[in-house]
Structures are given as C-alpha cells and as structure tokens.
Amino acid sequence: MTAIASPDISRRFLLRSAAALGLVAVGALRPARAQTVKPDAKSALIVVDVQNCFVDGGTLPVKGGAEVVPLINKLAASFDNIVVTQDWHTPGHASFASSHAGKKPFETTAMPYGTQVLWPDHCVQGSDDAALHKDLKLPKAELIIRKGFNKNVDSYSAFVEADGKTMTGLAGYLKERGIDTVFVTGLATDFCVAWTALDARKLGFTTYVIEDATRAIDLNGSLANAWKQMTDAGVKRIKASDIS
Ligand code: VGL
Ligand code: ZN
C-alpha cells in the first residue's frame, strides 16, 4: 500500500496546524515583554527633588510622593553613578504665587522666558522643607545639583534653567565623566522629571524615565502632555522591574 494519509489523519493534521498558527497569532498580538536594561559604567541614576516639600506634610505635596523612596533606594544598588537634585529657591522666588500681587497658587503668569505656573512657597534654601527626604539612602551619590536658586528664573530641569540658556553644569559633569545614559526618577513626573528628561535627550544622552519611581502633580493635563512630549522626544518609559 502506498503511504497516502487517510482523510481522517489529514484533517487532524490541519486542525493541529491551525491551532499552532492561532497560538502564534495570539503571541504576536501580545505586547513584547520589555527587555531588561542593565545600567553600566556609563549610566547615571538621576534622583530628582525627593525632598520634604514634595511629600505629605510639605509645602507642595505630590500625591504618593514618599512612595518612590524605597524603590529609589533599591534601584541605587544597580548604579555606579548617582546624582541627586534639590529644588532650592530663594525666599520671594519668582515661581511663588506670593511674589505676584493678586495671584493664587496654580495660576500662571507671563515671565520674560515664557508662561510660569505659580506655586505655593516651597523648597526655600536651607529650610527643613527643602531637605532631602530622611529615608532616602543614597550614600554613593557623588553630586547634588541645586536648582531654581536664581530669584527671577525657575528651573524645573536639572540641566538648563527655565530661560532655556543658563546651564546648571550637570551636562558638563556627566560628559566629563564619560556618562552617556541617564535614568531619571523622583518628583514630579510632569514637571522636574519631565523637563530633566527632555533636556537630557536634547543634550544627547540616552534617556530613560523609570515611571513607577516617579509621582506626578497632574495639573490641567500636565501628566499626559509630559508623557507625549517625552515619548515624542525618544525618552524611554520603563518600570523599575525592567532594570537588572
Ligand atoms: C517642581 C513645581 C515647582 C518639581 C518644582 O520638582 O517637579 N514642581 N517646583
Ligand atoms: Zn520649585
């Protein structure tokens, strides 16, 4: 007898093939598991503004702000280079609503460098409010960048003040040390984290934001807007569990 498959066998074969194809199709629809990222000697963790002012009990509390602290402490073990930033305003700073007659916090005003959101008085230089969160444990951090200390100019970004031209020195520091990749964490996602990440991209760094190690203010859609701008600029949005 010649080896011709019986109709029964070929039907079973077809069914099995279809099932296999089905599985492949479902697999293709499932989002690809993000590859883990391994920070190397050219990577730096940037911990933005994890200060008393931005957690409960502070002057400009970010919802859930303190929740980033244990995660950042844990992430720090994966990095050789860690930079910390502090929002560090003069009394009577131009970003404070109290410095503008008739203005209330969370309104805006026109500054020579553009529209400025006006905040409650916060993170005044040398105050307990401006101190780093007491549970932040980053003994290896080698640099603290303070920003927003020019009375008439705000600085959400750790790289460039809000005038768009005054550099803080962070880019030079990182570049002189051969660092080409930054991982941004801290507070707040939609202001200082986003502006720092966007400037990092502009300055040529490969840039990640570790989303669950940030918390947002989310003022009038600012969070969605910040993620759109970051994604469009090539900032990579990852989770702490993506880091090996
Ligand atoms: C920040 C508002 C005002 C921040 C600083 O750290 O995101 N937000 N100053
Ligand atoms: Zn500020």
Distance of CA 60 to the CA centre of its chain: 18
> Closest ligand 1 atom to the C-alpha of 193?
7
* Residue of minimum CA distance from atom 3 in ligand 1: 119
Phi and psi torsions of 170, nearest 5°: -65, -40
**Residue of higher predicted confidence among 223 and 26:** 223
Ligand 1 lined by 187 (C-beta under 6 Å): yes
d(CA 201, CA 173): 16
User: How far is ligand 2, taken at its centre, from the CA of residue 154, in Å?
Assistant: 7
**Average pLDDT for residues 58-78, to the nearest whole number?**
98
> Closest ligand 1 atom to the C-alpha of 51?
6
Ligand 1 lined by 118 (C-beta under 6 Å): no
User: How far is ligand 1, taken at its centre, from the CA of residue 114, in Å?
Assistant: 16
3-class secondary structure for the chain? CCCCCCHHHHHHHHHHHHHHHHHHHHHHHCCCCCCCECCCCCEEEEEECCEHHHCCCCCCCCCCHHHHHHHHHHHHHHCCEEEEEEECECCCCCCEHHHCCCCCCCCEEEECCEEEECECCCCECCCHHHCECCCCCCCCCCEEEEECCCCCCCCCCCCECCCCCCECCHHHHHHHCCCCEEEEEEECHHHHHHHHHHHHHHCCCEEEEEEEEEECCCCCCHHHHHHHHHHHCCCEEECHHHEC
pLDDT reading at 12 higher than 80: no
pLDDT reading at 13 higher than 90: no
Q: What is the pLDDT of residues 163-194, one digit of tens each?
A: 999 999 999 999 999 999 999 999 999 999 99
* Residues in Cβ contact with 120 at an 8 Å cutoff, skipping those fewer than 6 apart: 59, 60, 96, 97, 98, 105
Domains defined for the chain, CATH in brackets: 8-16+38-90+121-242 (3.40.50.850)
User: How far is ligand 2, taken at its centre, from the CA of residue 79, in Å?
Assistant: 27
Looking at residue 35, its pLDDT comes to 80
Q: What average pLDDT does the chain have?
A: 91
Ligand 1 lined by 154 (C-beta under 6 Å): no
Percentage of residues in the chain with pLDDT exceeding 70?
86
**Average pLDDT for residues 33-57, to the nearest whole number?**
94
pLDDT reading at 15 higher than 70: no
pLDDT reading at 33 higher than 90: no
Choose the residue to mutate in 86, 87, 122 for probing ligand 1, maximizing ligand atoms within 8 Å of C-beta: 87
**Average pLDDT for residues 99-123, to the nearest whole number?**
98
Smallest Cα–Cα separation from 99: which of 49, 154, 140? Answer: 154
Look up the pTM and report it.
0.87
List residues with catalytic annotation: 49, 147, 192
Q: What is the pLDDT of residues 87-104, one digit of tens each?
A: 999 999 999 999 999 999
